[in-house]
Amino acid sequence: MKESKITVIGAGNVGSSVAYALILKNIASHIVLIDIDTVRCKGELLDLSDAMPFCRTSELTTGTTKDARDADIIIICAGKAQKPGESRTDLLQANKKIIESIFKDLKPINKNAIVIIVSNPVDILTYHAQQLSGLPKNQVFGSGTLLDTQRLLGILSKRLGIAEQSIDAYVIGEHGDSQVCAWSLANVAGIPLTNFKELKKGDYKKIEDEVKNQAYEIISCKGSTHYGIATCVASICETIMYDQKGILPLSTFIPEFDVCFSMPAVLGKNGIERVLYPKLSNDEQEKLKQSASKLKKIL
């Protein structure tokens, strides 16, 4: 049987947590950790190796970016992380250079590889990665607002007393300050969220702010966010490996706006198979346009 190989480039807080989540979920037979800080990378490998006897991943190794050329999935978590008070777009200059150097070393890249961008600002870096990789655009995408959507579902679950998995709601647009909570699409068992008496008129804005500010709050308390995003990335890999055709809000090229940002997308073994464009309220459509124009300006 063909071995499945996932490489994680950037074995810092996010990358090592991604590797841990992949191992626990038994998603690939071989996981490769790559980092320019080879000492830290070795430490993460040794630490993660202690978890291996409980899991089914057979091989965990370290390597260089060249070892990612033949991988089935390449996850990019390398780069500078936000410090307290910094926005994701503040990281752009440093992380764009890092992404460029990584893609130089990734050539020649497996023409069937799926590349997942996690480093921030994820939408802008996804746009560049699509150009730099030479791969079809559907094979290169960002984790986008999947994390924000999970945060939204978590808050709604507590308010409504209903499991996250049974609530249908999306955060779309930029993974950042201009993200849009698509309230008009949100429902439980087909019942619009606005029909639930647990949510009052003034609650929506408060929830939007809570979702948006969660990363800032975590960073101010502990310096980085990594468990949530790691679980999101492992779930993306699982959807690809099992060809599940799940719908996830992922950062992908949106021709109408000529930027990458998140819309609900159908994900399978070949990457993003289809982007869905649900009908939004006029207000949400306007906010989405503003999100796109913010990203376009940065690009």
- The catalytic residue positions are 175
Q: Does 14 bind ligand NAD (CB under 6 A)?
A: yes
Q: Does 21 bind ligand NAD (CB under 6 A)?
A: no
> Site residues for ligand NAD, window 84-113 (CB under 6 A)?
91, 95, 98, 101-102
Judged by CB under 6 A, the stretch of 7-15, 180-188, 196-204, 271-279 that binds ligand NAD is 7-15
Shortest distance (Å) from residue 121 CB to ligand NAD: 8
In terms of CB distance, is 32 or 34 closer to ligand NAD? 34
- Please give the Cα distance from 120 to 53 (Å, whole number): 33
CA distances from 85 to 91, 123, 186, 210, 219 (A): 12, 20, 31, 16, 9
Helices (H) and strands (E) in the chain, counts: 8, 14
- Please give the Cα distance from 33 to 289 (Å, whole number): 38
Q: Does 74 bind ligand NAD (CB under 6 A)?
A: no
Instruction: Tell me the three state secondary structure of residue 128.
Output: helix
**Residue 116 in contact with residue 233, Cβ under 8 Å?**
yes
Q: H/E element holding 151?
A: helix 146-160
DSSP code of residue 121: S
Burial level of 256, CB count in 10 A (0-12/13-18/19+)? exposed
Phi, psi of 117 (to 5 degrees): -90, 130
In terms of CB distance, is 92 or 135 closer to ligand NAD? 92
Q: What x-and-dash track marks residues 195-234 binding ligand NAD by CB under 6 A? A: -----------------------------xxx--x-----
Nearest residue to ligand NAD on Cβ basis: 12
In terms of CB distance, is 56 or 222 closer to ligand NAD? 222
> Site residues for ligand NAD, window 147-166 (CB under 6 A)?
147
In terms of CB distance, is 57 or 251 closer to ligand NAD? 251
Phi, psi of 182 (to 5 degrees): -85, 75
Shortest distance (Å) from residue 37 CB to ligand NAD: 4
* Residue appearing with tokens 């630490």: 47
Closest alpha carbon to 234 in 58, 17, 34, 81: 17
Q: Does 120 bind ligand NAD (CB under 6 A)?
A: yes
In terms of CB distance, is 30 or 96 closer to ligand NAD? 96
Q: Which of 21, 33, 35, 248 binds ligand NAD (CB under 6 A)?
A: 35
Shortest distance (Å) from residue 236 CB to ligand NAD: 11
Interface positions with ligand NAD (CB under 6 A) = 9-15, 34-37, 40, 77-82, 91, 95, 98, 101-102, 118-120, 122, 143, 147, 175, 224-226, 229
